[in-house]
Amino acid sequence: MSAHFAPRIVTANHLLQGGVIYLADNDMWVDDIREAEILTDEADAQLRLLFAEQQPDTVVGAYLAKVTVTEHGPEPQHFRDQLRRTGPSHYAHPSDKRFENV
């Protein structure tokens, strides 16, 4: 069963900041996907999602995102999750250098 389960991570938006965050294995929320806990077991993944959903005063919109495990850590499989990680493709956030002298 779990052999066919594509690895997942738990991701959400931060309630106050709005930003994209990931659940780490120490129960902390982190903004670097490389620190996200990789869930390879379906039951485990559901439990971690439940854990996230029980924190409505910290996070909104928690869900499980499919990832591929690489040597650089988890890589989102879907381009939507890829965009959530990198930010909008037209501006180099968060540095925003481009706005300084316009």
Partner 1 sequence: MYKYTEFDKAFLLQRNSQFRAQVQRRINGQLTEEEFKPLRLMNGLYLQLHAYMLRVAIPYGTLNSAQMRQLAYIAQTWDKGYGHFTTRQNIQYNWPKLSDVPDILDTLAEVNLHAIQTSGNTIRNVTADHFAGAAADEICDPRPYAELIRQWSTDHPEFQFLGRKFKIAINGAIQDRAVIRAHDIGLQIIQKEHKLGFKVIVGGGLGRTPMIGKTIRKFLPESDLLPYIEAILSVFNQSGRRDNKYKARIKITVHEKGIEDIRTLVEDRFHRIRPTYKGLDQNILESIKMQFPPPQFVKADSTHFEQTYETDPIFRSWVDINTSEHKADNYVIVSISLKGHGQTPGDATTKQMQVMAQVAEDYGHNELRISHEQNVILPHVHKSNLPQIYKALRNHGLATANIGLISDIIACPGMDYCALATARSIPIAQDIAGRFKALKIEHEIGPLKLKISGCINACGHHHVGHIGILGLERAGKEYYQITIGGDATSTAAIGERVGPGFSAEEIVDAVERLIYAYLDMRKEPEETFLRTYQRVGLAPFKTALYPKTALAA
The footprint of partner 1 (CB under 8 A) covers 13, 15-20, 56-57, 60-61, 77-80, 83-84, 87-91, 93-94, 96, 99, 102
Is the CB of 43 or the CB of 92 nearer to partner 1? 92
Q: Exposed, middle or buried by CB within 10 Å (0-12, 13-18, 19+), for 101?
A: exposed
Is the CB of 30 or the CB of 60 nearer to partner 1? 60
Cα gap 27→51, rounded to integer Å:
9
CB of 16 vs partner 1, minimal distance in Å: 5
CB of 4 vs partner 1, minimal distance in Å: 18
- Using DSSP's 3-state secondary structure scheme, residue 79 falls into helix
Cα gap 59→12, rounded to integer Å:
6
Backbone angles phi, psi at 94, to 5 degrees: -95, 10
CB of 2 vs partner 1, minimal distance in Å: 22
CB of 102 vs partner 1, minimal distance in Å: 5
Estimate to the nearest angstrom the gap between the alpha carbon of 23 and the chain centroid.
7
Is the CB of 43 or the CB of 69 nearer to partner 1? 69
